[in-house]
């Protein structure tokens, strides 16, 4: 095992444990994180596998395939964060409306 593989595996495991602690009880997210960590470690340990899969899919190099998958994962995370921000924005708007209506009722009383 080369030095870069040890470094990459250490980083992936550190990130996995960090997010596992942050996710707590979200079962789907924990399973997804576990699968991503396993896939990352597998691809780090067996880089020739990505070349075989890339050949099957018609991609030039294995690293290109990993790059494309990372772009797709990035967009997934970006859209998930966007929807969460929209939900929080709507919730905040609703709470401010309720609070202002309650304050108006108190002023009239």
Per-residue pLDDT of the chain (109 residues; tens, 9 = 90+): 778 788 888 888 888 888 777 777 678 777 888 898 899 899 889 989 999 988 988 888 988 888 888 898 889 889 889 999 999 999 999 999 999 999 888 888 7
| DSSP-based three-state secondary structure for 1 | coil
CA distance from start to end of the chain: 75
Distance CA 80, CA 62 (A): 27
pTM, entire model: 0.63
pLDDT at 26: 76
- CA torsion sign for 89, 91, 97, 102 is negative
**Short-list 107, 23, 39, 108, CA closest to 73:** 39
What is the crossing angle of helices 3-23 and 27-45, to 10°? 180
């Amino acid at each position: 095992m080369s030095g870069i593989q040890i470094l990459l595996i250490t980083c992936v495991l550190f990130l996995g444990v960090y997010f596992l602690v942050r996710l707590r009880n979200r079962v789907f997210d924990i399973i997804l994180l576990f699968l991503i960590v396993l896939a990352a470690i597998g691809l780090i340990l067996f880089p020739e596998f990505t070349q075989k899969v890339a050949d099957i899919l018609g991609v030039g190099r294995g690293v290109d395939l990993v790059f494309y998958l990372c772009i797709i994962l990035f967009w997934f995370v970006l859209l998930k964060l966007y929807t969460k921000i929209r939900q929080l924005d709507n919730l905040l708007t609703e709470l401010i409306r309720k609070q202002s209506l309650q304050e108006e009722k108190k002023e009239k009383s």
